[in-house]
Chain A
């Protein structure tokens, strides 16, 4: 059982209940009354704990090794997913998966960061941290979707773009910048969902769209809490404090007007029931696509522009230099 630190009281109680159940089944003594009481207590405890998660708790949840990945959601939500490879220039980056599929009968292009589900796969997929060719593959398939008038769904789940020598040589910055630039002008609906970690520009390169959704326990940030702590206070150990300060949780981003809607998670986190989690995502995704498909291409692009134009906090004084 891979539990997180803050869930320990829940785990302890669950263990105790299991123990009593086992005891009841093997002995003459009937403890069902006791068990029932404890189960009620467990429910209350779960309510208490999962309803008051701190940002740091959510960071742990977003990074949970068993958290459902892009391919998990693809298998539950889409029919006939046909994976397509390569940037037609340099390589095929396994840190991003992309392809075409049907969503409730509607052809769509699906693109997402892909973490590995074990060490071997993580190495092959560079822990879901893309190289420029990954972003260029994504862009190639977005342009293809545009040509054939298919909506695009992007699933975001990365610590960030891969920090490496080869990535820089091949233009990591240019690849991210190009995606932002081109996504702003796509004439088809683009829906982005943060399913795990939304790490910086590496996440945003799949993240400029008409709707941005976040799973309840996902995070989206300009830098990892560890990175921020190291930069701000020269101490990566202060990551917890950074997480609280930086506004990286779904409720925080909703309050800032960046996220359009929060997708509720299965109690205790998406990893408890990936299939159910996919259903919860479906409930938000389906009406959103339906609505966006009714929009004209130009108003789609204009609306997207307005969406991003609104974001930012500033004060303005009249200078008299311009009116």
Chain B
């Protein structure tokens, strides 16, 4: 028996043809008719904000975006075919209270886990996708997140299409301990495999992308992008401040800071995201693929 089977329930790989938003996810409209920008305090209609891809009209603050909303904002209508929607955690370490927390987040988000994966297209260019959703367990990575990403990458290899991931994660999932840590290796190995076959990998880091996620697949794109203002880093600000006994600059570990430090190809505003990804997919039509 393969080692993974010791921890995950044996389930046949399910391919769901329905588009992602489950009923519960659809109902998850942010509180109220009006919303206040946490950065500039501007009051806006929630509806208008939604139409503006959850970007503040005042200061350009990028609100966290739900996976299904990203799919809707980027992919060709009806093109998304979700993969492995049925995968959920088996609480492999029998960690106390873990299952209750998962159940609560399932109910809250309408998702089985902190990521939605699948195959779809942008302006007709096919690609495999993974969208992390920070509203589920802070987007933390456990066995399910790691497995779903790996399977989506395998699908990209099989179909010889690119792989695009939107990350949003606090890092490894504590309740799955070292199994979480090893998802960094599993996803990293999958990325290497796709890359060696000439596959295109695009990583878009959104707020927040930290810890084990920033230190694995999020940083392994042929192109690494980030949304404006996104927090991206390995160690947390508090830990660093305590260690070096210094106050860190205000913009420390922001997307803009990382761009200056040479870590990102570009910071992309949400309004230009689709156009840029479409151009990348277009330019890699010729020249990409197996060599």
Contacts and interface: CB of A to CB of B under 8 A. Distances in A.
A84 interface: yes
Interface in B251-291: 259-266, 276, 279-280, 283-284, 286-288, 291
A76 to B, nearest CB: 19
B262 A147 contact: no
B283 A85 contact: no
Contacts of B200: 148
B286 to A, nearest CB: 6
Contacts of B288: 148-149
A91 B262 contact: yes
B266 A84 contact: yes
Nearest to B265: A84
A137 B262 contact: yes
Interface in A67-118: 80, 82-92, 100, 102, 106-107
Given A92-B259, A92-B262, A147-B198, A82 B276 contact: yes
Interface string B211-226: 0000000000011100
A125 interface: no
23 contacts: A80-B283, A82-B266, A82-B276, A82-B279, A82-B280, A83-B266, A84-B266, A85-B259, A85-B262, A86-B259, A86-B262, A86-B264, A87-B262, A92-B259, A92-B262, A100-B280, A100-B283, A107-B283, A133-B262, A147-B198, A147-B222, A148-B284, A149-B287
Given A84-B223, A91-B260, A91-B261, A107 B276 contact: no
Contacts of B195: 147
A298 interface: no
A54 interface: no
Contact of A88 (B263, B280, B284, B286): B263
A150 interface: yes
B253 to A, nearest CB: 15
B287 A150 contact: yes
Contacts of A83: 266
Contacts of B262: 85-92, 133, 137
B283 A102 contact: yes
Contacts of B264: 85-86
Contact of A148 (B198, B265, B276): B198
B281 to A, nearest CB: 11
Given A106-B286, A107-B283, 5 more contacts: A86-B259, A88-B224, A88-B263, A92-B259, A100-B280
Contacts of A106: 286
Nearest to A133: B262
A89 B261 CA distance: 7
A85 B287 contact: no
Nearest to B258: A86
A144 interface: yes
Residue among A84, A85, A89, A149 with the highest chain B CB neighbour number at 10 A: A85
Interface residues of B, number: 23
A133 B263 CA distance: 11
A166 B260 CA distance: 16
A63 B98 CA distance: 67
Contacts of B280: 82, 100
B265 A86 contact: yes
A92 B283 contact: no
Task: With a 10 A CB-CB cut-off, give which of A80, A86, A107 has the most chain B CB atoms.
Answer: A86
B160 to A, nearest CB: 13
B163 to A, nearest CB: 14
Given A91-B261, A107-B283, A85 B291 contact: no
Nearest to A101: B283
A41 to B, nearest CB: 52
A87 B284 CA distance: 21
Contacts of A86: 259, 261-265
A148 B263 contact: no
A30 to B, nearest CB: 58
A83 B259 CA distance: 12
Interface string B88-126: 000000000000000000000000000000000000000
A86 B224 CA distance: 10
Given A83-B266, A86-B262, A107 B287 contact: yes
Nearest to B224: A88
A144 B221 CA distance: 11
Contacts of A148: 198, 200, 222, 284, 287-288
Interface in A140-154: 144, 147-150
B261 to A, nearest CB: 6
A144 B222 contact: yes
Nearest to B259: A85
A219 to B, nearest CB: 31
Contacts of A100: 280, 283
A86 B266 CA distance: 9
Interface in B189-212: 195, 198, 200
Given A91-B261, A92-B259, A144-B222, A107 B284 contact: yes
Contacts of B286: 106-107
User: Which of B265, B280, B286 has the most C-beta atoms of chain A within 10 angstroms of its own C-beta?
Assistant: B265
Nearest to B288: A148
B202 to A, nearest CB: 12
A86 B264 CA distance: 6
Nearest to B267: A85
Contacts of A88: 224, 262-263
Nearest to A146: B291
A80 B280 CA distance: 10
Interface centre among B260, B276, B283, B284 (most CB of A within 10 A): B283
